[in-house]
Amino acid sequence: RMRNERNLLYVLCTLCVCILFFLFFNPQRGIDRGRILEYLQEREELSGKEKTIDNHIEKKEERREYKDDIHVANRKNMSTCPQMFGRVGVFVAYVKSSMETHYAVAQRSLECYLKSVNYTVFMVDLDNDERVKHACYKNKQLFFRKHCAASVYLKEVDWMLILDADTAIVNPNHCIEEWIDSRVDLVFYERYFNWEIASGNYLKWADWEFTQPSNWNGADNGVLQIHLLETVLPSAVQEIRICDEIWHKGTDYDTYMAYVTCCKLAMGATRLWPGKARIFRRAHGWVRDGFLGDDGWAETDFMLHGYKAQNVGDGGWKSPFTEKIDPKKCDASTRGWPWRKEKMYSVQELKNRLAAFEASTGKNYPIKGRVMPHLEYPDVGQCYPNCDDMV
């Protein structure tokens, strides 16, 4: 019996060896192995494509959700503004002495508008507000003290619109929510006449007061350009260094615009950095400078900037209003808005005016501001061989 078992074991071992020998030396083996590798590679590529497709679908969904949000937020016939982004605040910082002699036209329009919406309002006296004095005592420059003050009150709302005191509401048939983008934390817009990113209606850089250059630097607007560049493109170390060098060389407005150009070119055509910031294209933000359309407005407009006057007729000024707005007459309708009819444009008329102004700004852009940093400054000479370490 033991002999039979040994014979059976011998047969089985011999059979296994033969099978292994056949598999090892079989010419088809290489083909099969190749097919297996091809299959695995195809599966990996397919998985990569699926991930890419998933990313595209996810981004598409985000864009669609954003467009849906904007559609819902659009105000029609002075309807209620939807609280779709939580609590929204309106912040205006001012100096009491200036407020007593300026901005009445702008501030009355804002007061009228606020009677038709449910936003939290922060009117902050920069010199006398106790919370600001406690938190912002280091900030001596007005603009940076304003930024610091905004950060003090920001925690009380989910989104805050920060306005200059000379920003007027010209068309109340809009909601702030139309310009809120939940994909980012900060939203800005470009100035129409020089492509500068506007800081008057913004946030988050009060501490730059202590590191800004002492030359002609553009104050908080100047700080914003490089602060934003560092925030959205931290790996662009050399580009940031070059723009900072140009900034420190500024001696006047024209040379300052070279710095603005540098920052704009470094950021490129991108206007949305998810999780960080968004920059609205010129004339597409919630506010634009009033002089661009000779103080006229279209239904696409919401606010106009630069209204420092106390009365609508000061200095022969023909404002969008026939008289100073009386907030007592204001409610969730347009009856309290004394518009000047000739200042009410169609969208096409405003478009034509903006196009004409756009052509002139390009032609009149300062010669000293027309720089090409990658041609005029070292791209790798200063950082080689570590230029890409931050990428």
Model pLDDT, residue 222: 78
Residues 209 and 128 in one domain: no
The answer to whether residue 220 sits within a structural domain is yes
The answer to whether residue 110 sits within a structural domain is yes
User: How many distinct structural domains can be found in the chain?
Assistant: 2
Which region, left, alpha or beta, applies to residue 375 given φ > 0 means left and ψ of -120 to 50 means alpha? Answer: alpha
Residues 359 and 269 in one domain: yes
Q: Which helix (H) or strand (E) holds 36?
A: helix 28-73
Residues 139 and 265 in one domain: no
Model pLDDT, residue 143: 82
Residues 371 and 337 in one domain: no
The answer to whether residue 318 sits within a structural domain is yes
Residues 260 and 362 in one domain: yes
Residues 170 and 108 in one domain: yes
Neighbouring C-beta atoms of residue 112, cutoff 10 Å = 21
Model pLDDT, residue 204: 40
The residue written with tokens 């089985």 in the block is: 12
Residues 312 and 264 in one domain: no
* Enclosing domain of residue 194: 187-280+350-391
Model pLDDT, residue 289: 92
Please list the pLDDT of the chain residue by residue as tens digits (391 residues): 545 555 555 555 555 545 444 444 554 444 555 555 565 566 566 655 555 555 555 555 656 666 666 667 899 999 999 999 999 999 999 999 999 999 999 999 999 999 999 999 999 999 999 999 999 998 888 888 988 899 899 889 999 999 999 999 999 999 999 999 999 988 998 887 665 676 554 434 333 344 555 554 456 677 888 888 998 999 999 999 999 999 999 999 999 999 999 999 999 999 999 998 999 999 999 999 999 999 999 999 999 999 999 999 888 899 999 999 999 999 999 999 999 999 999 999 999 999 999 998 889 999 999 999 989 998 888 888 888 887 7
The answer to whether residue 376 sits within a structural domain is yes
The answer to whether residue 313 sits within a structural domain is yes
Parallel, antiparallel or unpaired: strands 303-305 and 287-289: parallel
The answer to whether residue 53 sits within a structural domain is no
Tokens of 218: 């553009």
Asked if residue 320 lies in contact with residue 302, where contact means CB atoms within 8 angstroms, the answer is: no
